[in-house]
Structure 1
Amino acid sequence: MGVSDQRPAFTDADARAADALIALALDEDLGPDGDDLTSRLLVPADATGGCDVKSRARGVLAGLPIVERILPAVAERTGNAPLELLPIARDGDALHPGSIVASLFGPVRDLLTAERTILNFLTHLSGVATLTRRFVEAVEGTNAVVLDTRKTHPGYRRLEKYAVRCGGGANHRMGLHDACLVKDNHLAAWRERTGERGDLGALVRRVKGELPAEALLIVEVDRHDQFAAVLPAEPDVILLDNLPPEALKQAVAERDAAGSNVKLEASGGVNLDTVRAIAESGVDRISVGALTHSAVALDLGFDWHDAGPPTLP
């Protein structure tokens, strides 16, 4: 599947997550007294100026809606009117060295106060979007969808998952609350506590009977005998953990021969060198923890100028 032209939605829940992190970021920078000491000592209070947020590398943009929320948060701390913002690019856009993301204008003190907070969000989330886009392009032409995981940074889950969408990927479950994913440790704990040694199929059927209607049931397997036991019980997804492409192909063939609608997901050992072969096995989904836990920040910076307020070209 290729990269979609549809822009990802920045939801109300994403906005609430952003606001909480923005408040923490400004608290860290400005301290209990709300003071940008260097700017206060070196920059006249009435000085105004502007800057362009510019890319210095190739990548994919994510995070502009957060910048829009940083500006009033900074203004609330400084007592000034919010900085003026002119977005030039959109989240999901491909960036090149020299691409202008947005222009900002207002009190120079506020620009300096906001600079690092703005760049911290933009560079990290654009890094997630950029890495995701590389995985999505690597599986183009196959049926596989690239998904994130719960391997996110504390507090950043919604924003990192938004960035994955900006890169053309899709979201796995948001947390433990919205899907049931039965992993090997769950099985071990269940068997230890209950003393049951029944097959996985029986367990899946029992869980299906108690699961909320809106929640997905995903079952992890790492051996063929487990897969053969789970498939007839028809969870929503069978997660094939750390299986080589030939074993993945066999699972796809058996699923198709059974006429089952169960989705097959590959996970474990997925990187840019292996993802194409995994996708060509015919699996429906590929989950990649690296999208969020190993993304390198995209190089963005402020280019300063003395121009007046930004205007549309």
Structure 2
Amino acid sequence: MNVPVFDDLARANARQLLEMALREDLDDAGDLTSRALIDEQQRGHVSVVVREPGIVAGLPIVDMVFEQLDSQVEVRRLVEDGTAVEAGMTVAEIRGPLRTLLTGERTALNFLTHLSGIATLTSRYVAAATGTAAKILDTRKTLPGWRHLQKYAVRAGGGTNHRIGLYDGVLIKDNHLAGWAVSQQAQTIAAAIQTARASVKPGISIEVEVDTLEQLQDALDGPPDIVLLDNMSCDTLRRAVELRNQRQPSVQLEASGGVTLATVAQIAATGVERISIGALTHSAIALDLAFDWSGQ
């Protein structure tokens, strides 16, 4: 089981999103239905139950939802994030004022099902690449405001995080190279890599995107830390690995573009060290979890 760390960045991200989510639901009037129908003294007991197999992620946020609503609510987690779960499993139990449980139900499930969906999809890609040197990485294709949580869910599924944003790593893409070549009247990718390395602090990773083996040869003269091989066939990826091994064996290679569950194993078998997949965060289907009500 892969137990990710729900770090300070993820917690702060969750807190901001929760404030918005609860404001969307409650505004200034609160939960009109629960107030109208449920006695404020009535208590309830909920089991959070999995409806389909997957990997659970986001349970710490369930705690946070009810902490914001009512300190009388008790949340007991029965598994850790990163746990493989089967249909019918209970992953948490919640007890407290019934009004509060009803008020927080949808918000808690929205976070939990979405993040568990990302973790589940990630785990399937990781499993498909098992037995190779390739790590499965996410991208910056995340929902605005959700990045730290979505990347946390990728870790829960056994994946690896790419750079968080534009601030913590250099990734020279084709449009950067085009603009730089015009402004500097220079053409080589190697020169762009050397210029970038001179402009950032030591320890910052330098990555460059290439589309062809000719561009890869140019890039390896930099050399960068990582070369992103964009939309290359498996045959071309294998040739890229051979070229890298001959020229710059310490440079890592990252395959990206159009990777699916049907193709990831073949891509991983080419010898690349990294496979980045935007679908992990932008196309994951929510895992089916539900509140099962158990009375008081």
TM-score normalised by length of structure 1: 0.92
1:222-244 deviations in Å (ceiling 9; x for gaps)? 01111000112121100000000
Is it true that 1:283 corresponds to 2:279 in the alignment?
Answer: no
The equivalent of 2:98 in structure 1 is 108
Given candidates 64, 70, 75, the residue that maps to 1:69 is 64
* Equivalent residue, structure 2, for 1:311: none
Classify the secondary structure of the residue corresponding to 2:216: helix
Do residues 252 (structure 1) and 248 (structure 2) align? no
* Alpha-carbon distance in 2 for matches of 1:198, 1:247: 24
- Aligned pair partner of 1:53 in 43, 48, 54: 48
Q: Which runs of 5+ in 1 are unaligned?
A: 76-80, 308-313
User: Which of 148, 159, 179 lines up with 1:158 in the alignment?
Assistant: 148
Partner of 1:143: 133
**CA–CA distance in 2 between the matches of 1:29 and 1:55?**
24
Aligned to 1:8: 4
Paired position in structure 2 for 1:292: 281
CA distance in structure 2 between the aligned counterparts of 1:202 and 1:192, rounded to whole angstroms: 13
CA distance in 2, matches of 1:133, 1:112: 32
Residues 31-56 of structure 1, C-alpha deviations (whole Å, 9 max, x = no match) = 123x1000000111110010100000
| Alpha-carbon distance, 1:11 to partner | 0.6
Is the contact made by 1:8 and 1:162 (CA closer than 8 Å) also made in structure 2?
yes
After the TM superposition, which residues 157-236 of structure 1 pair with which residues of structure 2 at under 5 Å, given as runs? Answer: 157-194=147-184, 196-236=185-225
Partner SS, residue 221 of structure 2: helix
State how far apart, in whole Å, the 1-side matches of 2:2 and 2:57 are: 14
Paired-residue identity, %: 48
Contact 2:38 2:98 survives alignment (8 Å): yes
Which of 255, 261, 275 pairs up with 1:266? 255
The CA distance in 2 between the partners of 1:259 and 1:270, in whole Å, is: 25
**Cα distance in structure 1, aligned partners of 2:79 and 2:72:** 20
Aligned-residue offset at 1:104: 0.3
What is the letter of the counterpart of residue 247 of structure 2?
Answer: A
- Alpha-carbon distance in 1 for matches of 2:196, 2:61: 39
Equivalent-residue separation in structure 1 for 2:51 and 2:147 (angstroms): 26
What letter is aligned with 2:173? K
- Code of the residue aligned with 1:266 in structure 2: it is A
Residue 89 (structure 1) shift: 1.3
Aligned-partner residue type, residue 33 of structure 2: T
CA drift at 1:254:
1.2
Distance 2:136 2:77 in 1: 28
Distance 1:167 1:149 in 2: 15
The separation in 1 between residues aligned to 2:15 and 2:39, in whole angstroms, is: 29
For the 8 Å contact 1:145–1:170, the answer to whether it is kept is yes
Residues 111-120 or 207-216, more deviating: 207-216
Assess if the C-alpha contact under 8 Å between 1:234 and 1:260 holds in 2. no
The count of aligned residue pairs is 296
Secondary structure of the residue that 2:165 maps to in structure 1?
coil
Given candidates 131, 134, 137, the residue that maps to 2:124 is 134
Per the alignment, in what secondary structure is the counterpart of residue 46 of structure 2?
A: strand
Moved over 3 A (4+): none
Q: Which residue of 2 aligns with 1:310?
A: none
**Unaligned runs of at least 5 residues, structure 2:** none
Question: 2 CA distance for matches of 1:298 and 1:257?
Answer: 44
Could you list the per-position Cα deviations for residues 214-263 of structure 1 after superposition, in whole angstroms to 9, with x for gaps in the alignment?
A: 31111000011110001121211000000001111111111112252000
How large is the RMSD of aligned CA atoms in angstroms? Answer: 1.0
- What is the CA–CA distance in structure 2 between the aligned matches of 1:260 and 1:32, rounded to whole Å? 61
